[in-house]
Amino acid sequence: MPYLVDFKDVSTQGLESSPVADALAGLRANEARYLKNKFNHDFAVEQAADAQDTIAWVNKILAEERDLHIASTPLQATIFEADGARRAYVFYESGLSINVLYGLEPGEKRAVGFKLSDGMEVPDELQEKFKFARQKSKLAGTIRGSYFVIKNEY
């Protein structure tokens, strides 16, 4: 059953097994606030067991584009369309959040973004491949992020 993320009353629901559950919940709420303000989209996530197709799509892009395989267990995920793009989010037990922006029209923006929850280390599989910029968030503390552009069709 989908969980509607509330960015006013931040909850760790579904993220309890993460060692940085509070920070990951703040990161998830930060995404929910952004999507509500930018696209008037209510951000709802499903438990990983109910979102296997979404997780498989994200894993395929990571593997084929950059030979990346995330070691952490996915906890929640979602996929939806907004503003002419398919958008997928996967939240991992380690505190990592991966989002895919995939423009539906040829030539539109297509990218994968990584965000690290406050207090987590950079995962080994990302450490040598990406540099992470820092940003402050009232909901999530310090977020470190990076991205790459998708080159192929998915």
56-105 pLDDT tens trace: 999 999 999 999 999 999 999 999 999 999 999 999 999 999 999 999 99
In a domain, 57, yes or no: yes
Per-residue pLDDT tens digits for 112-153: 999 999 999 999 999 999 999 998 888 888 899 999 999 999
In a domain, 95, yes or no: yes
Distances (CA, A) of 51 to 62, 88, 111, 112: 17, 10, 20, 18
The reported pTM is: 0.95
Domain interval for residue 28: 3-149
In a domain, 154, yes or no: no
Q: Residue 18's closest CA among 67, 72, 69?
A: 72
| Overall number of domains in the chain | 1
